[in-house]
Structure 1
Amino acid sequence: MLKCLASCFIAMFIFGTQTVFADGAVIRYPRPAARTDSHFDYVHELLAEALSLSPHKYQLLPSKATMQQGRAVHEMKNGTGEVDLLWSMSTDEREKALIAIKIPIDKGLLGWRIPFVISENRQMFKTIRTLRDMENYSAGQELDWPDVKILEHNGLKVNTANSYEALFSMLEAGRFDYFPRSVMEIWKEQESHAGKNIIISQDIALHYPAAYYFFVAPTKRQFAEDLTNGLEIMVHNGQFEKLFLKYHQSSIQKAGLKQRTVLELQNPFLNPANMPLSRAELWFKP
């Protein structure tokens, strides 16, 4: 209880109003378009803990308008000041344009995907054994997500939408067959869309190399350094692992990855040589 109160206290100050730290640098992150951000609580507690270890003060505030990933990357790359911080799946292109803090805050879990389907199709993937078996089925994804190109590169059909929330209605309406979501996302999303005729398939999982990093605008190098240092301290003192398990252990257990047929996909948009794969403590293994 005391640890929880302490974390809330830290978060209250770092993510508080403009008047909390009058002399703290304002760092803006994209205001999500979704009704709920399944990563929000975890990411913000992680940021709060890491930045509490910094000698500098920061205020983290959402952008004035809702913003999709592609727009956020553009704003950060061009130094407009609209967005300074983004957490998203990494690509080689994003790593060239922005400062990538190469501590995968998802431990690679974002690359483990299980699908939403409509309830009538609960048995649809029962006989799936290979990627070739998936060729007749189409996935749904948001237009600017890196996953779109990854799925297409592996020969899978993809239908896209301009917004995250629209994907749930499109799945329900039969516009595509399945909506693959990461193990760390899907359970909260199921709760927040409980009124829809969708369920989580129990038969397959898609897996591809992925890293969910914090990205910082090139104009905010001091912030990037402070955030990196704070995260490294958390990795070494065990707090990073504790926080990861606090938010994701239940989801990992419910996913039952060892009982699923796992379909391995290539990710040609993220060079393994640039990933910190030698640091085993940073990666999830089922």
Structure 2
Amino acid sequence: MKSLLNKLGVLIVAVWIQVPALAFGTVFTYMGNESSLDERNSYDKSLLELALEKTVAEYGPYTMQPSGEGLSLSRLIKLAEAKHYPNFFFKFSATDEMLEKFLAIQIPADRGVVGYRVAFVHQQNSQAFNQVSDISSLAKYSIVQGIGWLDTSIMQYNKLSVFQVSNYTSMFAMVERKRVDLFFRGVNEIANEFTDFSQSHKNLVIEPNLLLVYPLPRFFMTSKDNISNARRVELGLQRAWQDGSFVALWRQNHLASLEQAQLAKRKVIQLENPFIKTLDPNYRKYIFTIDELITEPAAAQN
């Protein structure tokens, strides 16, 4: 009798352990924030969640958890290569090298908008770049970007003067202290970052005249062997695109920053991205264009 009770106890414990797993479903790990002020990944989390919601019928319930906080992009990629996090989906700029290492869902998560870049500058230099009109005139000034960022490599390839650092928040301080002239950010990022950092960096302003533009599709990526979960995310993104919820979420998160930047009034300096030579060009059908803000203003405000 005692043996039977022991066996029943083990069975009950085993069932109890399995119930939460069945209730909460597949665990997806998304990219955590680098610091408490870092909000760059909030949209990515929401978009991944949207894709998973669109596929519950076929694939079942899911749970989302962040990767570790305080990790630089270069460190995060190394952890992804080592499969440190379970079922890890992270958004990263597409390159031929990354497409070899990881399984990429080739639907640009931010619609390529991060390839439209405006700069933070010191307020005393807010009008210092009015005469800059091409790459050669921009190359006279110092630019800070992150170590491991594809933007850094693109700017260096185009002969711009780039100073690399590893810490995201320190880049704002470098502009504040005039250690560098410009800190280029995605036009979708800069409004929130100005809100977050301008109080602690009183001399930080958004440069009003320049707009760097280069192709910079960013995809959700995962381990090469994570095929089934990747198919789920791809299917969910396709459905969200088709029913309009993808673009609605994108506008909800990015439209205010795009309008604030007044893109149509800026001087465009086009840069080449030499790191996507093997990329299938079909991704371009999802890409944002400035014309959307001009020809579809009513839709953009919904």
TM-score (ref. length: structure 1):
0.87
Deviation at 1:273, TM superposition (A): 4.5
Output the amino acid matched with 1:239.
Answer: S
Q: 1:43 — aligned with what?
A: 44
Q: 1:256 — aligned with what?
A: 262
Count of aligned positions:
266
Change (3 A) 1:20 1:179: farther
Deviation at 1:277, TM superposition (A): 4.4
Output the amino acid matched with 2:227.
Answer: R
1:210 aligns with 2:216: yes
Preserved CA contact (<8 Å) 2:95 2:276: yes
**Which stretch of the first structure deviates more once superposed, 202-211 or 168-177?**
168-177
2:109 paired residue among 85, 100, 105? 105
Q: 1:4 — aligned with what?
A: none
Distance 1:266 1:219 in 2: 32
SS at match of 1:285: coil
Output the amino acid matched with 1:61.
Answer: Q
TM-score (ref. length: structure 2):
0.83
Distance 2:166 2:91 in 1: 19
Structure 1 unaligned residues grouped into runs of 5+: 1-18
Distance 2:76 2:87 in 1: 6
1:200 aligns with 2:206: yes
Output the amino acid matched with 1:283.
Answer: I
Deviation at 1:236, TM superposition (A): 1.0
Preserved CA contact (<8 Å) 1:30 1:66: no
Change (3 A) 1:211 1:177: same
Deviation at 1:141, TM superposition (A): 0.8
Work out the percentage of aligned pairs sharing the same amino acid: 28
2:174 paired residue among 151, 161, 170? 170
Preserved CA contact (<8 Å) 1:30 1:68: no
- Superposed CA RMSD in Å reads 1.9
Structure 2 unaligned residues grouped into runs of 5+: 1-19, 291-302
Residues 53-202 of structure 1: matches in 2 within 5 Å?
53-54=54-55, 55-81=59-85, 84-195=88-199, 196=201, 197-202=203-208
Q: 1:25 — aligned with what?
A: 26
Residues 209-228 of structure 1: matches in 2 within 5 Å?
209-228=215-234
Distance 2:254 2:146 in 1: 23
Deviation at 1:20, TM superposition (A): 8.4
**Which stretch of the first structure deviates more once superposed, 46-55 or 254-263?**
46-55
